[in-house]
Structure 1
Amino acid sequence: MVVVPALLNEFGRALSRTWFRITHCSTPYATRLFYAEEVERRARRRVAEREWVKDGKRRAWKNTTAANTGEPVDVPVDPENGIIPPPEVAGTARAKNQRRLAEGEVGSFNGAAATDIEAERANEVTIQVETEHGDGNVTTLGFTPTAGGPDPLNNDIPYYARRVGLDAEEYTVLTKDGYILELFHVYNPREYTPRRQSDRQMNPVYPFRYGKDKYRKRKYPILMMSGLLQHVGSYCTNDDASLAFYFAKIGYDVWLGGNRCGFNPRHIHLSRHDPKFWNWNVRHMGIFDLPALLSRVRYETGFDKVALVAHSQGSTQTLYALSHPKLAPGIASQISVACLLAPAAYAGQTLEALPFKFVRSLPHGVYSMFFGQQSFIPAMVHAQNILPKRFVAYMAYAVFNFLFHWTDARWERDLRARMFGFAPVFVSAEHMWWWLAKTGFAGRGCMFWDGDADPVIRLEEVGAKIEEEPSVEEVHERDIRSGVITEDDPSLPEGAKQKRNDLNPHPPVIPATLPSNAFHPPATSGHADENTPWFSTPTPPLALFIPAQDQLVDGPRLLKRLTAGKDPYTSPTPSSHPSSSTTREIEPNANICHVSILDNYEHLDPLWAIDAVDRVGTKIRDIVWHEIKKERQEEGHDPLLDRLVVPKDVGCLEGEIDIGKRRGSGRQNQSQMN
């Protein structure tokens, strides 16, 4: 229904480009904003890919010759991906020791191996000393790629991390309603040793109890959440210019949190063929998914709070969780700052287009016939495993461009296939009904309304067993046995009892059944009352990044609501909404710490624009660090904050951050930040 007009739309553009090339004898893309930089990046990438292939063939031939002559092979070829580490990485002490461990040489190291271990430890000590006694910034070690060659478009976050000299490990996280989520940890392989596979498996969502490794410098954690129909790998598609890799390289501890389903839908009790498996929407993602991911990141890093970066739908579930403290208890106290990119709280003008009006006119039964009764158009995801990757990515861009009028004017076109390789993902039909229906986000125009009862999975129906939360002593006993902490760890509470019984990690800790109307804020009729506050308790600091050309969601309207009546803001009123004569404060508990109006940016540009790091990444870098410094001044703050690695180049935008305490015109402040 949508594919045919989308393809015709793309076909018309192709004819226009061909005619331009014939008549002007030049490329039609030469007028693009970042054309020169695109050409330069593409050339560098092509050279690196060719050199990688040539070097790999040379080393493979050398290894084959050495094997035939009986000489030792220094650089093995990865049999799975054909990836050959470069000599400077493969020859490091850590890589050599890991190879010896994999080959079963544990306990039989010779003198050379011992020397390698000592060299590795000496290198780590040098890193720590330079960090502590230098200028306070992260020591520049260089990032040597350990993967390369032509891009296979394999939707693999660790692979793309290795292409830029980083790496990633995957964790599995269990929500309280039984869904299994993906959580990726991006790290520098020179500074961090991956955890064992058994330690990264799903476990009960135990509450945060203590901090680990209190006596060494730590990197502050950032959790990143993706948007609608996108995998969290969308933060990793621009090579070094990807937001996730940028934060990891400057000195933050980056965690990429995936919502339920993604590319591999899983549940601890339900089969994906069970209709109950797909009975959820974005509100469940805010109440269950976000707290589970935050809990796991806090548990793994030891910090009391985590910085959150959320795009589009990720901001929706964040705002929903913050507005329902009884359903997501303590969520505000776990977030140091929430950076919301293209926040989706109000619907934009794009949702008034004909295709979306057609969907809103459909009864629920007819909608299910068109788009699926369980998963939303699952053929879109299955096509990625059957058809050529570049063709699927081209089709995805054509459809998204036709529906949402997004363009790639600010993207690197050579990476567009990789970008859309992480979209779409599996989501439930009920979830998309929440977004598109007449009684949902598109019809009501807002994420909050007083509608009919939403389908809520009652936990006893899915077979989830409700158990009491384990005691502090039980949690510590489990961690002592698993080697996470020792019996003399200073983080252990006084009088912690060491029980000898084995703790069963399954089934998960499940709360009591939620009431049927638990997901509805108080409202009077139709649209939620604009004068009724969303937040009954103080929010963490919120940083808003609003694309000025975003027509899918109405960011200025959200800004107007959150800043109404707050000095120094003037609450700019978008032309699509009538101005209000009142200056009464609508959201007294909303703590706005930063606002950026991103000129000429569309909905996806904060993720994929060539200059996204300069216009978004650097500001997030300084916003997070600014909030850390403010928290350090508070009495009883997290002791780990006193031993943080300072991100590289942090503080360059210090004068543009704490706008909540500045005086003067709100419009002037916003213009200074662009």
Structure 2
Amino acid sequence: MALTDDVTSCLIDNNKLFKDIIYTAQYTATSANHLGYNDSSKHNSSSNSSNSSNSKPLPPCFDLKDAYRTQAFATTTVPHDIENPSVKRIQRRLVDKFLLTMRSFISSLLSLPILALLVSVAIYKTTVLHLQSSGDQRHHSMDEKKEALDELLSQDETYYIRRWGYACDTHQVLTPDGYILKMHRIYKKGPPEPSQGAKDTKKKPPVLLGHGLFQCSGAFVLNEEKSLAFMLVDAGYDVWVGNNRSIAGFGHISLSHKDHEYWNWGLKELGVYDFCSMVDHVKVHSQVDKVAYIGHSQGNAQAFVALSLCPEIADSLSCFIALAPAVYAGELVKNFPLSLLIGLNDWFYTLLFGNGCFLPIMSVAQQIIGPKIFCFMAYSMFSYLFNWWDHHWLRRRKAKYFQFTPRPVSVRLISDWISGWGRQGVLLYVQSPPPPPPPQQQQDGYRATSMTTTTVSSMPLPLSAVGSKRKLPLVVFYGTADYLVDGQKFVEKVQTCNPFPMLDLVHVERLEGYEHMDTIWGHDNHITTYPIILDQLSKVSYP
């Protein structure tokens, strides 16, 4: 990859610094392993004990600040292409190789028939549902007839960025534990448009977009010219879309994705390492002190994890917009087949799925099966499992969506979701808030809120202490038909016994009839969601 002029000019001077960063990342992961930090401290007795006992230890937030935050800025002075071509698989004894191979074989032997059965049932139920609703009137029928005939089906999000008149730079970010993340910075093609005034000459602050579980940054550029990322670019913001580890490549400075050690990560690493690394990277490249963050589903969950474990990250954020906040579980966790997965014995869960990539057959199928056939299979499976459908989508876009969904994740990550969100009803690593005060105390200590919403009446918010540090504005969007997560419960918890004291809930948007994916893929987002996002971003004050 060709180096930009600014990178080339400082590469020689910063060669030693780059080596220090690599050493720091290796030291952080290795020393933590030797020191015996245990990542199972946040798990209760119902957590996946087999995974926790074998999980890669994670250093505490103190180590993160000392070993990473003080040096993270230096990654901006090294080449974007920092993958290590010399990475080799871990050398093992013949007996160990045999045991690992047998475990993988047994997991595949057990999981593949179950997956095939679930896909068959999902296809049947999805087909019946569509036949029953075939006579329904779709309010967006005119948009359905609009065909993007010159748009290809691709698994490269940069293609769609270019196709709709934008350009992007690809960045690679090194995490403290050695993973290499891929980010895209999106901007308009060609020379800047002539400004109409002095205020228009300065570009607006940066906005970072975070994707959900099994997804990638492509989720924000697939709605053609009405995509969320493009809307923000058109509004003048410095737009970045990020990818978690393993999502846009298996880059690591010392581990191969063919070894199970590579996959030894979960929600904590996504929050404390990936999220914080991307925020710091954007700050440096955009030359700002704060970044606005918009996260969908797991994209906001990992930010909540970071705020819970490392609350100092709030100082790096100017605004936090949570689309379909994935903190409290919806009613869907009580229904089959999710209830069956959540109720699995810990030992059997590990036997069934192994300790590496979660159901890697999904990524293989995505590569070898035709896009439209795979779209039908994947949509049937995900809608059956998670109860999100295409009622608010343009169906012609579905084949694009499932070229970017699913993406590889770790077995341990799914175990973390099961341990907290599935079994306890609340996101793992989020501190349990104290009980709400008695009614009389609420009346004395609370005031009317400035929060606005188009569908819900104003509700009381806690009164901030006089002279206290300015809190991070939080904006929440959730759908009334989202049964995967409970947005209403999250809003009520934040208003009464806030588990995130550094957040100030300033706006809640309750979207009637919206399901889990509709806040980013809905055909009418440019009416229901985007104007409110822009309005809230415009109210953010920067130092």
After superposition, where does 1:228-377 map in structure 2 within 5 Å? 228-325=213-310, 330-377=312-359
Aligned to 1:421: 403
Residues 225, 311 of structure 1: 8 Å contact kept: yes
Distance 1:218 1:627 in 2: 15
Residues 410, 609 of structure 1: 8 Å contact kept: yes
Structure 2 length-normalised TM? 0.68
Aligned to 1:447: 427
Aligned to 2:190: 190
Aligned to 1:7: 120
**Candidates 585, 594, 612, aligned match of 2:507:** 594
Aligned to 2:489: 557
**Candidates 464, 472, 496, aligned match of 1:540:** 472
Residues 167, 187 of structure 1: 8 Å contact kept: yes
- Structure with greater helix share of residues: 2
Aligned to 1:181: 181
Shift of 1:521: 6.5
Residue 180 and residue 222 in structure 1: after superposition, are their counterparts in 2 closer, same or farther (change >3 A)? same
Q: Tell me the alpha carbon deviations over residues 331-374 of structure 1, each in whole angstroms, 9 at most, x when there is no partner.
A: 11111101000001111111111222222232233212322320
Shift of 1:35: 2.0
Q: Tell me the alpha carbon deviations over residues 173-204 of structure 1, each in whole angstroms, 9 at most, x when there is no partner.
A: 00111111010111112137xxxxxxxxxxxx
Aligned to 1:613: 526
**Candidates 31, 47, 57, aligned match of 2:137:** 31
Look up the equivalent residue of 1:557 and give its one-letter code. Answer: K
Shift of 1:529: 5.5
After superposition, where does 1:218-233 map in structure 2 within 5 Å? 218-233=203-218
Q: Tell me the alpha carbon deviations over residues 30-50 of structure 1, each in whole angstroms, 9 at most, x when there is no partner.
A: 6123223322x33xx2xxx3x
Residues 226, 526 of structure 2: 8 Å contact kept: yes
Distance 1:17 1:445 in 2: 31
Distance 1:33 1:395 in 2: 26
Q: What SS does the aligned partner of 2:204 have?
A: coil
Aligned to 2:111: none
Considering only aligned residues, what root-mean-square deviation do their CA atoms show, in Å? 2.7
Q: What SS does the aligned partner of 2:240 have?
A: strand
Shift of 1:623: 0.7
Q: What SS does the aligned partner of 2:529 have?
A: helix
Distance 1:4 1:186 in 2: 41
**Candidates 398, 410, 414, aligned match of 1:432:** 414
Shift of 1:217: 2.4
Distance 2:132 2:254 in 1: 57
Aligned to 1:103: none
Q: Tell me the alpha carbon deviations over residues 463-485 of structure 1, each in whole angstroms, 9 at most, x when there is no partner.
A: xxxxxxxxxxxxxxxxxxxxxxx
Q: What SS does the aligned partner of 1:440 have?
A: helix
Residue 590 and residue 163 in structure 1: after superposition, are their counterparts in 2 closer, same or farther (change >3 A)? same
Q: Tell me the alpha carbon deviations over residues 430-463 of structure 1, each in whole angstroms, 9 at most, x when there is no partner.
A: 0001112xx3320010114xxxxxxxxxxxxxxx
Distance 2:416 2:130 in 1: 39
Aligned to 1:109: none
Look up the equivalent residue of 2:492 and give its one-letter code. Answer: K
Look up the equivalent residue of 1:373 and give its one-letter code. Answer: N
Matched residue pairs, number? 395
Aligned to 2:48: none
Shift of 1:379: 0.9
What is the identity percentage for the equivalent residue pairs of Structure 1 and Structure 2? 31
Look up the equivalent residue of 1:255 and give its one-letter code. Answer: W
Residues 265, 426 of structure 1: 8 Å contact kept: no
Residues 166, 189 of structure 1: 8 Å contact kept: yes
Aligned to 1:207: none
Shift of 1:2: 4.4
Residue 34 and residue 361 in structure 1: after superposition, are their counterparts in 2 closer, same or farther (change >3 A)? same
Q: Where in structure 1 are there 5+ consecutive unaligned residues?
A: 21-27, 50-148, 193-214, 449-519, 565-583, 632-636, 638-674
Q: Judge which range, 293-302 or 266-275, deviates more.
A: 266-275
**Candidates 380, 393, 396, aligned match of 1:398:** 380
Residues 538, 590 of structure 1: 8 Å contact kept: no
Aligned to 2:165: 165
